[in-house]
């Protein structure tokens, strides 16, 4: 996977991005609270017919359904990670009190066609022209667009778009020698 980081501050409506990011933080906190209360980290339980998804769609009709789904996946991933890494105090996971959150888009919520990126927000789909550098195109000619992440920084007012590409692994064979990797572990 390779990530291309692009500043799109001048091309988007800051108010729309800020509101979308704010609602994402609210949905994230609601999912964490629901998961802690019901002791579940299952995406299917939270998104299912008796879960939280339909309630969130009703409360936030302007918030794109794809973003609700990706926010649920992010929250359940955080819960699973917390429970795995903190076996003695598994529940509850505490949520950071942040006003804005990164927007994780699957291919349902964001698209890349040539240099045009479009993505869902609370207002409508935003359109942004990006310049993918020639060095990136030549180095990764077989890249495949997988997802996008938008980070809004309230302190600076900057909006950063991260385009995530899947790239084939490069295997170079230079003989029969074994190459080791220093993982920094001391025994």
How distant, in Å, are the alpha carbons of 42, 52, 148 from that of 81? Answer: 13, 21, 22
What pLDDT does 117 receive? 95
Segment 138-153 shows an average pLDDT of 92
- 102 alpha-carbon distance from chain centroid: 6
pLDDT in tens, 26-57: 999 999 888 888 888 888 888 877 788 889 99
> To the nearest whole number, what is the mean pLDDT of the chain?
86
Asked whether residue 172 carries a pLDDT value surpassing 70, the answer given is: no
How distant, in Å, are the alpha carbons of 29, 130, 147, 176, 181 from that of 70? Answer: 13, 23, 11, 44, 34
Residue with tokens 């064979």: 173
Residue with tokens 């600076």: 156
Asked whether residue 171 carries a pLDDT value surpassing 60, the answer given is: no
- DSSP-assigned letters across all residues of 29-65: HHHHHHHHHHT---HHHHHSTTSSHHHHHHH-TTS-H
Asked whether residue 164 carries a pLDDT value surpassing 90, the answer given is: yes
């Amino acid at each position: 996977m390779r990530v291309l980081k692009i500043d799109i501050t001048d091309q988007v409506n800051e108010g729309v991005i800020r509101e979308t990011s704010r609602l994402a933080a609210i949905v994230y906190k609601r999912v964490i609270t629901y998961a802690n209360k019901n002791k579940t980290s299952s995406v299917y339980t939270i998104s299912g017919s008796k879960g939280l998804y339909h309630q969130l769609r009703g409360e936030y009709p302007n918030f794109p359904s794809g973003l609700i789904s990706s926010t649920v996946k992010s929250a359940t991933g955080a819960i699973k990670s917390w429970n795995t890494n903190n076996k003695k105090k598994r529940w509850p996971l505490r949520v950071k009190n942040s006003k804005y959150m990164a927007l994780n888009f699957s291919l349902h919520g964001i698209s890349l066609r040539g240099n045009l990126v479009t993505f869902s927000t609370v207002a409508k789909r935003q359109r942004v022209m990006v310049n993918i550098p020639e060095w990136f195109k030549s180095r990764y000619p077989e890249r495949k667009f997988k997802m996008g992440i938008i980070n809004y920084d309230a302190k600076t007012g900057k909006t950063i778009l991260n385009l995530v590409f899947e790239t084939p692994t490069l295997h170079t064979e230079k003989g029969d020698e074994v190459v080791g990797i220093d993982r920094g572990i001391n025994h």
